Amino acid sequence: MKIIDLSKTIQYNPGDPFFMKVKIKHKPHRKAKWLIRYLGLPFRLFPKGFIGWADDSIKKMGVHSTTHIDAPWHYGPTCEGKPAKTIDQVPLDWCFGQGVVVDMKHKADYDPITVDDIETFLDKENITLAPNMIVLIKTGRDRHMGTKDFFLKGTGMSAEATKWLIDKGIKVMGIDQWGWDLPLPFLIKEAKKNNDPDLFWEAHLVGVDREYCHMEQLTNLDALPYQGFKVAAFPIKIKGGSAAPARVVAILDD
């Protein structure tokens, strides 16, 4: 069995926009000795060679700041006419299944991924989707991680392509760029230029009418075959969360 990590390292990146910067404080071993002393253990009773334990604090990290899974609650307060699931309510059996990579690296920045794009790729590679598979959209934009371009450049899923995958029985899908839609600054500019409210966040908003989850900021999809592997994508259990960081991995049998 081979396990391939598809998750972004959680760390501070100066190129990230302010709203997704991560700040972690690393505490060295020696600082812990004073806490242990405060709790009542004299220094003379410290185990031989023990200088304390290392510890770390996440000072700032939004749930959408790194590789994560968006819950239906992220898209809106209701889904299919019922209260939308928060991340702690997402069934875990959605988060493990046969994986498929859909290669969209040829798509230009700001050119949305269409149903025809996906169907053409699947037909060419003789891949058949089945319910509960986990579909990974490979754009190659993970190469921008840690730079200012990560937030600004990319392709993105259209509403129609997102609906098409959901109609195939796909409950969890993911992408290796900053977001599921076309880049946010581009969407804002286009909506204003065309005076069209339907241009903004169209793929995300599919989740108001059809229940699904998507992952964002995946990486390393080039290391995977197009099919023949499993994906495990279990989110941290955050009560009421709109999303949660996840350690997403692919599992390949020998």
My answer on whether 174 and 106 are in the same domain is yes
My answer on whether 55 and 130 are in the same domain is no
Least confident of 42-51, 100-109, 179-188, 219-228: 42-51
My answer on whether 95 and 51 are in the same domain is no
Q: Give the pLDDT score at 36.
A: 83
Domain boundary among 38, 60, 82: 60
Whole-angstrom distance, CA of residue 25 vs CA of residue 185: 31
Q: Is residue 1 part of a domain?
A: no
Read off the pLDDT of residues 108-134 as tens digits, 9 standing for 90 and up: 999 999 999 999 999 999 999 999 999
pLDDT at position 139 over 90: yes
Burial of 50 (0-12, 13-18, 19+ CB in 10 A): exposed
Would you state the torsion angle of the CA atoms of residues 129, 132, 133, 138, taken in this order, to the nearest 10 degrees?
100
My answer on whether 32 and 110 are in the same domain is no
My answer on whether 117 and 242 are in the same domain is yes
Tokens coding 28? 């060295």
My answer on whether 51 and 67 are in the same domain is no
pLDDT at position 192 over 90: yes
pLDDT at position 44 over 90: no
My answer on whether 172 and 67 are in the same domain is yes
Q: Give the pLDDT score at 197.
A: 87
Q: Is residue 173 part of a domain?
A: yes
My answer on whether 99 and 129 are in the same domain is yes
My answer on whether 208 and 86 are in the same domain is yes
pLDDT at position 48 over 90: no
pTM of the model: 0.94
Q: Is residue 48 part of a domain?
A: yes
Q: Is residue 16 part of a domain?
A: no
My answer on whether 50 and 140 are in the same domain is no
Tokens 């999809």 locate to: 221
How many folded domains does the chain comprise? Answer: 2
Q: Which domain holds residue 35?
A: 23-60
